[in-house]
Amino acid sequence: MLWIRIQGWIPYISTSEIHSDEDLETKLKDTPGYAGLKRSIADIGQQEHVYVWKTDEMNKYRVIEGASRATILRELARRKEGQPDESKFRTIKAKILPPHFPPEHIVILLAKIHVRGAGVRSWGRYVEAKFIYDHTEPRDGAKALMSVASLAQWLGKSVSWVSRLRDAYKFAREFVEYLDSPDAENKAFHEFSTLEEIVKCSGFGPRLKGNPTKPLRCAAKFSTW
């Protein structure tokens, strides 16, 4: 049976919007690729395992990777209730992580699945940038989970590549705050390649850090929003 919680690191969704599994399921249904994955699972069943984790203090496993698959199976199980194929969607194929699996190792696992490993299920640049930011930036007075150099090593990327994406996501956050509209996050997602180019402009780094000591020079031309 699906005795799991799907709350975890969900790349397309702000955790501030989520207060329950039901909230998260509703948000996941609007994420890219959900509809196509749902059709596939309905037709041929679950093909890829999800990764789940539970400490001794938790009463349910938490999905670390595969929240969309778990949500789809729940949705199909409800829809198929009382039908002959209901049982097909009442169980989930999962790889269970050890109870004391370190948070840093969870980050490494996700990096290998979505960025570096064989048969990578690519997140795309915006989500890669969010992943880097979420795990290398200090939060609420606590130090960052990993350093840029350490994460770069596990991603198989250069430190400059990781730093550039982190800075681009920082700028995207400011862009979202500046727009202050319901679709701002979606605009940042679709305009992220342009935001990246702006961050590359000479002198932009100090400005992003609140220290505009150099004039901004940029050879590229950008459209306005």
Query: Is a pLDDT exceeding 50 seen at residue 122?
Result: yes
Domain boundaries, the chain: 1-101, 102-225
pLDDT tens column, 68-106: 898 899 889 988 888 888 888 888 899 999 999 988 898
pTM of the predicted model, to two decimals? 0.71
- Please say whether the beta carbons of 50 and 165 come within 8 A: no
pLDDT mean across residues, the chain: 80
Residue 71: exposure state from Cβ atoms within 10 A (0-12, 13-18, ≥19)? buried
Most confident range (mean pLDDT) of 20-29, 110-119, 165-174, 199-208 is: 165-174
